[in-house]
Structure 1
Amino acid sequence: SFNARLTQHPNSPAAKSKQIIFEEIGPSGSIVRNHLQQQIAGLGTRGGTNLYQAIFEALRYFRSPSYQVPEANVKRFPVVVLLADGQDDGYSAINRTQVLQKRKQVEEVELKVIGFGVTPNSETHRQLCELARPVADCLVTSSTTELQTLIRSFTRS
């Protein structure tokens, strides 16, 4: 099963309490899963990307007080899944070196990378794979069908 940090679903405990909590996404067709899919579908894919800033913040979260609070009967899987074209717009103060240093501070966190539209064995591919942990979880695709298969391959039951 997956857990997601949801704060916008109007019926979620997170939205009602204004706190960051984790809740089950649920099976196919569930209200929360459908809401999450709608939110993802509505994301814009054009414009600048603070790639390194996003990875840095995601990794930093695993050391934050909200992640450290133990929850009864919750098994956590410390993983970040990055779907990227490999481009960083350069507007963030965070750079690649800082991300690699932060990654060393959170050894237990897996960083799965999918390069979408990235040419295999290119410099962009190499740089994305340098971020992945384990390195075997650095994959590339330009097919949306294959992308779905790759994302499913990252799941755990």
Structure 2
Amino acid sequence: MTKYTKNQDAISALDANQYHVTQNSGTEPPFRNEFWDHKEDGLYVDIVSGEPLFTSRDKFDSGCGWPSFTRPVNTDHVIAHEDNTHGMRRIEVRSKHGDSHLGHVFPDGPKEAGGLRYCINSASLRFITVDDLEIEGYGDYRHLFE
């Protein structure tokens, strides 16, 4: 089993927006981020720790301008916390091992898929194509795409 940790080298390699989002609980602009309209099959992992977070199979177009998913690939890798900042009551989601701010989860997702919408910042993610799963060390997740 792979051990995922907060990787200081990965943090040093983040651009200003990725750092702001993942390390300072920031938010990137809607509709102007890398994965909001991304349709390729693959795995989304934490940009800091590499822990697997979401698959393209659970991604849907919510119209919000950020990548939206119905569920995490592994619930052990996503931690939820109450977030009462900005005058709102929300549930923040963070990666367990990288402690990266990912975004928020809302109860307005597709009913047939459990009703949740994980609204995630692209800046917190790295995308691994299905063809690169083995090369990148994520071969154990190939079965999710078969």
Relative to the length of structure 1, the TM-score reads 0.24
The structure number with the bigger radius of gyration is 1
Higher strand share: 2
Greater RCO (Cα-Cα under 8 Å, separation 6 or more): 2
Higher helix share: 1
